Structure 1
Amino acid sequence: MYAKIYRPRPSAMSSGRANAQHWVLEFDSDEPHAIDPLTGNAISTDTREQIRMTFETLEEAVAFAKANDMPHRVHGSTDTKRIPRSYSENFDFNRKLPWTH
């Protein structure tokens, strides 16, 4: 079972970047999920899937995995380029980009 180290992407429902600055260590499951017949939820007997650890830097997460002899994979993150704009720029007369709706 590999530990997956990645930086989570910010939510599409907000413009904030509060949870996008830290690195997360999670475990990938090797076992397939079973379906609970009563509720229809996916269930698993592997409790390591429930562990989610956060670190300030990538180096801290990799050092923790190596110190505890965990095989790990680092998934790189692509930072999106943000163009700072004000709300009033949506209604400019000399708008460079056309309306999209």
Structure 2
Amino acid sequence: MTARIYKPARTAMQSGVAKTKRWVLEHDAAEARRVEPLMGWTSSGDMRQQVRLFFASKEDAIAYATREGLAYRVEEPKPAATRRGVAYADNFRANIAEPWTH
């Protein structure tokens, strides 16, 4: 069984960087999910899939995985794209290259 160590990305619904500063350790699936015949819910007998551990740094997560004897893979975060500051007033400047139309 392997574990995945990564730094979560921002969601599309937020503009801030909340919940993106910590590193996460998640276990990979040990068995496939199956549909329960009575209720139709998806279930699995693998309890490790429900565990998500948070660490302050990548080194802490790697140290934990090593100490517990877990095989792991580290997924480095992609660099954040830089955006230039754009103001709402820029839509109405006089020297705009192409006039704004409906």
| Superposed CA offset, 1:11-36 (max 9, x none) | 10110101111100000012111012
What is the DSSP-based 3-state SS (H/G/I as helix, E as strand, rest coil) of the residue aligned with 1:49? helix
TM-score, normalised to structure 2, is: 0.82
TM-score, normalised to structure 1, is: 0.83
Number of residue pairs matched by the alignment: 99
2:17 alignment partner in structure 1:
17
4+ residue runs over 3 A deviation: none
Query: How far off its partner does 1:86 sit?
Result: 4.5
Gapped regions of structure 2 (runs ≥ 5): none
Aligned 1:1-101 pairs, distance under 5 A: 1-93=1-93, 94=95
**Would the aligned equivalents of 2:30 and 2:46 in 1 still touch at CA under 8 Å?**
no
Gapped regions of structure 1 (runs ≥ 5): none
Q: Higher Cα Rg: structure 1 or 2?
A: 2
What is the DSSP-based 3-state SS (H/G/I as helix, E as strand, rest coil) of the residue aligned with 1:20? coil
**Would the aligned equivalents of 2:27 and 2:48 in 1 still touch at CA under 8 Å?**
yes
Q: Output the aligned Cα RMSD.
A: 2.4
* Matched-pair identity in %: 34
